[in-house]
Amino acid sequence: MAQQAITGEMVRYSAGNGAQVPGYLARPTTPGRYPGVVVIQEWWGLEEHIKDVARRFAGEGFVAIAPDLYHGKIAAEPDEARKLAMEMDRERATVEITSALDYLLTSGYVAGDRVGVIGFCMGGGLSLLTACKSPRVGAAVVFYGGNPNPIDQVANIKGPVLGIYGEADQGLFPDAVNQLRQALQQHRILHEVYTYPDAPHSFFCDARPQIYRGEAARDAWAKTLAFYRRHLPTAV
């Protein structure tokens, strides 16, 4: 598929109680309605890498929004990122993510009545949690994210799930990955789960060369695009 010409900009959307949440919106410039995706940040914040992922989706014919769940704060060091992640209210973050779904669906840019969610690291867990809570999630992608607690929440998921993990991720593999796979099977949720040998946590992040694994990242990206093209509304 030929790459689309795109545009990207910071926007603000309502998340209830008068709250306005910033987010980065990327979309094709050609008029039309496209499948929509919410891109959920790692624990660093809405940094340039996550904006770039949103732009990659736009280039592939999607409309993508990345909510700024830290509302302007970006961490540079792991200790700072850990502090921001711990201070974040996960329930509030889920409201802001589901509000981003609503923003896309009412933007005039998105086809159909369902949107994809994708998250990385902390955002991977939030992607799965959002799918547990919102029937408007048409397909959820989890890049090395933690499982919801309790895990049986996955029974509420209405769309398919794609899980992407690295076998060198000692925090998640194999226990958390097997737990999720078993729960999805138990509750008969359509799913695909892939693991990559020698890939560490956050192996998709090309902004961090020490952990980036190009071959695995490219394959995971191809699987993600194919998954969304199968399960989200098509462009009109």
- Compute, in degrees rounded to 10, the torsion defined by CA atoms 66, 68, 69, 73: 140
Which one of the listed residues 68, 132, 191, 201 is annotated catalytic?
Answer: 201
Which one of the listed residues 132, 169, 191, 231 is annotated catalytic?
Answer: 169
Which one of the listed residues 68, 121, 191, 205 is annotated catalytic?
Answer: 121
d(CA 236, CA 191): 27
Measure CA 82 to chain center. Answer: 19
Residue 71 annotated among the catalytic residues of the structure = no
Beta strands in the chain (DSSP E): 6-14, 20-28, 36-40, 63-67, 115-120, 137-143, 161-166, 191-196
Residue 198 annotated among the catalytic residues of the structure = no
d(CA 155, CA 177): 17
d(CA 182, CA 184): 6
Residue 169 annotated among the catalytic residues of the structure = yes
- Known catalytic residues? 121, 169, 201
